[in-house]
Amino acid sequence: MNIILLLFSFFAFEPQTKHANFQNTASIQLRYADSLDIKIGQLIIFGFYGTVINKNDLVYKAVQEGKIGSLLIYGRNLAPQKTGDALKQLIDEYQKAASIPLFISIDQEGGKVNRLKPELGFPQMPSAEWLGKMNNPDTTKFYADNIGYTLSRLGINLNYAPVLDVLNRNCPVLGARERCFSADPDVITKHAGITIESHHYFNVKTVVKHFPGHGNALADSHLGVADVTKTWQPIELLPYMRLIKTGQVDAIMTAHIVNGKLDPSMLPATLSKKIMTGLLRDSLGFKGVIFSDDMQMKAISEQYSLEQSIFKAMEAGVDVLMFSNNIPGVNAYEPNNIHAIIKKLVADGKIPMARINASYKRVMELKAKKF
């Protein structure tokens, strides 16, 4: 019996209940007449520099031209004085420049992964591990509400949280940084669900991460290859399975880990059609948006050329490609270059137009989704 059949036989009796408070009331008239340039732009998310608008900046121009559909907020975008007001103004200016509303996104998990820090006037947020140890739904809801409200009032509409990875303190980038709720999938699922609902109350979408499980990695994929073949366990899929069944999951972020149990070719999960399409789409039934983790992380950028990595990720089934320009020692990319590579892949017939349309449709539907 292969590992997927084994997994499904193990979890065959998981309840398939609809979350009582979750509804999708969005309707959208898809813009089928949009140009290829606009459609490709919706599949790119980019990190930018500065705390004020620079209308000569390549990212700003790409937003105006519809060649970027989403932006990332980092510490470098936070002014030291009147931070909240300055950030909201910056976001508002970018939104005014866009013909299609942007996803304005951030990593605001709490604990050590907290872009909006208390020293800049934002609320203190505990780590996921602390919340998991407390294991009190009201406590988790209190802090998740704080995050959702804080993001909403700034104009940030997408958060790369919660983390669904299992807690293993030997994982340098997750467990060692207290980013995981628990080693118990039941605890992870419970607190992740509460976190998602709090975000939804404030109309902030969430991207759960890192599929198909990064928690047992003993290496950091920011720095190089992270092979979890010997350490990954099938129960790491359980939080995804449960939350997908409830309908709560807006989007999922990939992991750049290598997992020979799931793909014997040893492609990183982000570039693996077996994992992104075969497992996540076909077996687990996920119909939402798949975001890549940062394509500039060295597990990808040191192993594959830029064009190879973009092609393989899109072929695998990834909808939105992330370029942070935030990885030390990795060359910064220009948005027009990323856009041109995707457009050429389509022109050359390597990426079918149907593939672009499917991802574009999913992104547009998520942008229109209301709670």
Q: How do residues 49-92 score in pLDDT, each as one tens digit?
A: 999 999 999 999 999 999 999 999 999 999 999 999 999 999 99
Q: Is the pLDDT of residue 304 over 90?
A: yes
How far, in Å, are 272, 317, 330, 339 from residue 313 at the CA level?
A: 7, 6, 19, 14
Q: Which pairing describes strands 251-254 and 205-211: parallel, antiparallel, or unpaired?
A: parallel
Stated length of the chain: 371
The distance of Cα 110 from the centroid of its chain, to the nearest Å, equals 16
- 109 sits in which H/E element: strand 108-110
Q: Which of 191, 199, 200, 222 is catalytic?
A: 222
The answer to whether 210 is a known catalytic residue is no
Question: Could you give the CA distance from residue 174 to residue 355 in angstroms, rounded to a whole number?
Answer: 32
pTM here is 0.91
Q: In CATH, what number is assigned to the domain containing residue 275?
A: 3.20.20.300
In-domain check, residue 360: yes
Q: How do residues 175-198 score in pLDDT, each as one tens digit?
A: 999 999 999 999 999 999 999 999
Residue 159 β-bridge partners: 106, 206
In-domain check, residue 246: yes
pLDDT of residue 220: 74
Continuous H helices in 1-47: 3-10, 36-41
Question: Could you give the CA distance from residue 257 to residue 217 in angstroms, rounded to a whole number?
Answer: 8
In-domain check, residue 9: no
In-domain check, residue 94: yes
In-domain check, residue 13: no
Look up the domain containing 152 and give its range.
33-368
Question: Could you give the CA distance from residue 196 to residue 277 in angstroms, rounded to a whole number?
Answer: 24
* 145, 180 Cβ separation under 8 angstroms: no
In-domain check, residue 194: yes
The answer to whether 184 is a known catalytic residue is no
The number of folded domains in the chain is: 1
In-domain check, residue 123: yes
In-domain check, residue 301: yes
Q: Which of 293, 294, 319, 339 is catalytic?
A: 293
The pLDDT confidence band at residue 15, using thresholds 50, 70 and 90, is very low
